[in-house]
Amino acid sequence: MNSDGLILVVEDSEEDTEAIQRALSRSHPSLHVEFAPRSDAVVPRLLDPAAPTPDLVLLDLNMPGVNGLTLLSDLRAQPACASLTVVVFTSSTSSAEEDACYAAGADSYIYKPVNFELFQTVLRGAVDFWMAQKA
């Protein structure tokens, strides 16, 4: 794969998925982005030895079924996933949810702005920062 890396985006909203794809294709055109619309498929995907390991996981909190916080806890309970960089990228501004995410092992907690230009700027900054940590 000739790219800047791989990001796994766990996001059920088609609108947010489209916005993330559009923003990243503009700011990081050679980055490979994989989307997981259901959180219950993420742990098996990450434990699959044939699947590439993402450099970064962007995780939405408000998911149907298994929510993002539960998925984060499940990921951190798996030794193979312990070193993954997980950034919670959510519309929730609740400080209690933010605290719970950090307690569960999130590397960062970022609020999704509604304005697309700001959304793109925030996402680009997060990806640049965390991908530089992997380099």
Q: What is the pLDDT of residues 42-53, one digit of tens each?
A: 999 999 999 999
Q: To the nearest whole number, what is the mean pLDDT of the chain? A: 93
The pLDDT of residue 54: 96
The pLDDT of residue 135: 75
The pLDDT of residue 3: 53
Q: Which is nearest to 72 in space by CA: 94, 50, 89, 95?
A: 89
CATH superfamily, domain 6-134, is Response regulator (3.40.50.2300)
Percent of the chain past pLDDT 70, that is, above it, reads 97
The pLDDT of residue 2: 36
| Structural domain spans, the chain | 6-134
Mean pLDDT of 106-128: 94
